[in-house]
Structure 1
């Protein structure tokens, strides 16, 4: 039954800070590590992924109908039962494709911060838990990818959900009349078609120097993981996709990563950001758990993806506990944050609110940002796929009805928004070092408005529609 390496010997750990073992949060970490390594949820997830067959699951809803793409829109109301099943399945696939990308990012930052805690000493159990979590994530990711690929190929015949909706790029672009005004040598300095431009390389060096200078009294804690990367001449890691890639441009993420990998306080602060990913996942995943339990109680067939969601939430509950404990309590083991550390931690969460939690979608339940053109590209592809087989004009007309008119889908999205807001305030309201706007999740709260979402989403649709129609001219 053993798929995850459970040879992490809890009996031989050494603790350099005896007083730490007396604290409640240290005991929580110990208990969480024991329970996590004793559970077999990861193995169940692995086996379910290996055994998944779409044909055996295609005739069942994998979650409540509201957990479907386009739910509550005029198009959903007009869709056939076969199309509604496909939308329900594709919602699961899209959600867990995004989760897989985010968990890959989590694995990187587990290693970054782990290096800091090892350098501090006395947190061996925590380090082992983070190592174990990283190994678990690899099994989660593979299962999500297997189910997602088989499902997409069966429904649309091509992987239209393959690209993360949150993808970002570092490439700068200069177009139109600016090309005539800016000399070629200047453009070559700022833009490169062969990788990083001289400007971006210099920018990263400057930001790195600022971070290391401001944290110079913490240099003894610099993560061995980051040190090894730099010694190999490689760039500091920064995600391009998933939740991490949505927060800020990659050069900002590299800047933040140095802080998370150098200061014990900032390493703990990172877990308030990881808690955001945990909360978003819980907010979207817990309804699958309720659905699983209802089917189980009725003795009805439980689709494989529904079971994966159920066991994944049980696995992730351990990870969420660690995120909360580090972000809320463990940081108090270390010297109080400096004014600079408070500023950076505030800036990170402020950017997170603006990029991840500042709006409301009309077509994707549970998405707490406005509908952008990248999301509309995905839906346009879906409407012109074999699921709906629409022509260009028809697809745009239906998309306009779904995005630009108030409908039930907006109200379902608002319900998920309010649920997530409560989860976020539960943690951030207790972080006394955070800015008031972050403790109250003020930007997120302001974004939970259908009245604000409709004009913003309508404007995004107009730009998208014009770009599609311009292809005919």
Structure 2
């Protein structure tokens, strides 16, 4: 009981000091000031709001929105057998699916930005940090609105409703939309997230180290979003579709968000006293949670680490829709060919997966309180193409034996 009381007391006392920590480290303060000033000067929220208002799917449905390799199920037999018009649809659906996941992540970011700001604000002279997080929270709301506008219009036009798009999510839900989860896992994840929010709102070290986990997730986004933004042609702005422009401006905003995560988790975090054993455990649990979220590899959408068996039903709806018109037997064969066979898509997705865990290792390397399992990315590195194919073979067989959706959609 005494030990538990001590832990609670240590966590409930914010690390308030009468002397500014930032005054002791002018280099860190200058980094924060420069990042905030540039982020504010180049805030692309007005551009994104205007683009969302102007978006009309009919005006850009005959153009690619990003490079063809960033298309749904690119590098699978479905892509190879699709017509030019169907390939455009797969390209648009990659955008829809990718930014549906980004919305889920940014909803959580909005909440935890504020709990972190609450935990850091009692520190003398930390208004600069909190103002930065406030600016980023406002930008996240703008991003979500732009993504949601495009997603809803595209899916309403193509399907009469949502395929990848989701109702607005709670920040306490599983971050990955298509995850290996169940009711109990979802409930337990919610308890963990709510608990961390309460603890970090009253503990400066934990508040700063939320930004370590945010940095890892943003780093994953940067790997793909940089490539998506390269499709934007600044020399010929009139030739860029609105979704292409949204991708470009979002990437520019997120670059500053990543800078904030790095400064707060690496530079500001180092100004605090050494974390307690319990604080170390909480931070490492958060990083391991990120590893678990990013363990899986998806051939459906390179760059988002979805659990492909959770996607079977959604892909079935797409394949048996009038857009592709596959029969039940053709759909079943296509699922086997895309998910249970070695393809170019599988190799590309594992290459992205490796790029991710290598960059995570470099990001975590300077942090002394991160444990060996997290620094080595042992959990993520444990996945392989052989494991993926074995998993898909078992999961796809169960899906086809139990799911009536293939026949239902075809008959409909």
Structure-2-length-normalised TM-score: 0.87
Q: Is structure 2 residue 148 aligned with structure 1 residue 145?
A: yes
- Paired with 1:470 and 1:112, the residues of 2 have a C-alpha distance of 42
Partner in structure 2 of residue 325 of structure 1:
263
Match of 1:464 in 2: 399
Is the Cα contact below 8 Å between 1:66 and 1:412 reproduced in 2?
A: no
- 1:336-356 CA-partner distances (Å, limit 9, x unpaired): 1001111121122112212x1
Matched, 1:384 2:384: no
Please state if 1:291 is matched with 2:294.
no
Contact 2:120–2:208 (CA under 8 A) maintained in structure 1: no
C-alpha separation between the residues in 2 aligned to 1:133 and 1:412? Answer: 32
SS of equivalent residue, structure 1 residue 44: helix
Match of 1:37 in 2: 40
Alignment partner, residue 357 of structure 1: 294
Per the TM alignment, residue 369 of structure 1 is displaced from its structure 2 partner at its CA by 4.8
In 2, Cα distance between equivalents of 1:288 and 1:369: 19
Does the CA contact (< 8 Å) of 2:51 and 2:242 recur in 1?
Answer: yes
> Contact 1:156–1:386 (CA<8 Å) still a contact in 2?
no
Query: What's the CA shift string for 1:285-342, capped at 9, x where partnerless?
Result: 11111121xx445788211111111111111111111111111121122221001111
Superposition map of 1:383-402 within 5 A: 383-402=319-338
Quote the residue 1:408 is aligned against.
344
Is 1:242 paired with 2:244? no
Residues in 2 aligned to 1:308 and 1:238: alpha-carbon distance in whole angstroms: 23
Equivalent residue, structure 1, for 2:65: 62
For residues 121 and 462 of structure 1, do their structure 2 counterparts lie closer, same or farther at Cα, with a shift above 3 Å needed? farther
The SS at the match of 2:315 is helix
Q: Is the 8 A contact 1:328 1:427 kept in 2?
A: no
Tell me, in whole angstroms, the C-alpha distance in 2 between the residues paired with 1:438 and 1:393: 44
Give the secondary structure class of the aligned counterpart of 1:291.
Answer: coil
Correspondence 1:88 to 2:91: yes
What is the TM-score with the length of structure 1 in the denominator?
Answer: 0.76
Q: For residues 406 and 45 of structure 1, what CA distance do their matches in structure 2 show? A: 39
Distance of aligned partners of 1:46 and 1:17 in 2 relative to their CA distance in 1, 3 Å threshold: farther
Distance 1:325 1:108 in 2: 20
The answer as to whether partners of 1:133 and 1:319 remain within 8 angstroms in 2 is yes
Alignment map for 1:197-236 (pairs within 5 Å): none
**Is 1:113–2:116 an aligned residue pair?**
yes
Query: What do the CA deviations read for 1:67-117 (whole angstroms, capped 9, x no partner)?
Result: 111111111100111111000001101111111121111011111111111
Q: Is contact 1:62-1:303 (8 Å) kept? A: yes
**SS, match of residue 122 in structure 2:** helix
1:31 is displaced (CA, Å) by: 0.9
Per the alignment, residue 77 of structure 2 pairs with 74
Indicate yes or no: 2:258 matched with 1:315: no
Superposed displacement of residue 389, structure 1:
2.2
Q: 1:451 aligns with which of 379, 386, 408?
A: 386
Bigger radius of gyration among the two: 1
2:188 corresponds to 1:251:
no
Q: Displacement of 1:25 after TM fit?
A: 2.0
Q: Distance in 2 between matches of 1:300 and 1:453?
A: 42
Closer/same/farther in 2, CA of residues 298 and 245 from structure 1, 3 Å limit: closer
What is the rounded CA distance, in whole Å, between the counterparts of 1:263 and 1:18 in structure 2?
Answer: 16
Q: Extract unaligned runs of 5+ from structure 1.
A: 1-14, 168-236
Encode CA deviations 1:141-172: one digit per residue, 9 max, x unaligned: 111111111111222232212238x98xxxxx
Task: Decide whether aligned partners of structure 1 residues 465 and 456 sit closer, same or farther in structure 2, where only a CA change above 3 A counts.
Answer: same
Partner of 1:265: 205
Deviation at 1:381, TM superposition (A): 1.3
Q: In structure 2, do the counterparts of structure 1 residues 140 and 238 end up closer, same or farther at CA, with 3 Å as the change threshold?
A: closer
Aligned mates of 2:280, 2:125 — CA distance in 1: 25
Taking the aligned partners of 2:100 and 2:171, their CA distance within structure 1 comes to 19
Please tell me whether residue 347 in structure 1 is matched to residue 350 in structure 2. no
Q: Structure 2: which 5+ runs fail to align?
A: 1-16, 180-185
| Shift in Å, 1:134 | 0.9
Q: 1: distance between equivalents of 2:315 and 2:267?
A: 42
Q: Distance in 2 between matches of 1:297 and 1:414?
A: 34
Q: Which residue of 1 aligns with 2:50?
A: 47
Query: Quick check: 1:428–1:440 contact (8 Å CA) kept in 2?
Result: no
Give the whole-Å Cα distance in 1 for the aligned partners of 2:206 and 2:264.
Answer: 10
- Per the TM alignment, residue 262 of structure 1 is displaced from its structure 2 partner at its CA by 2.2
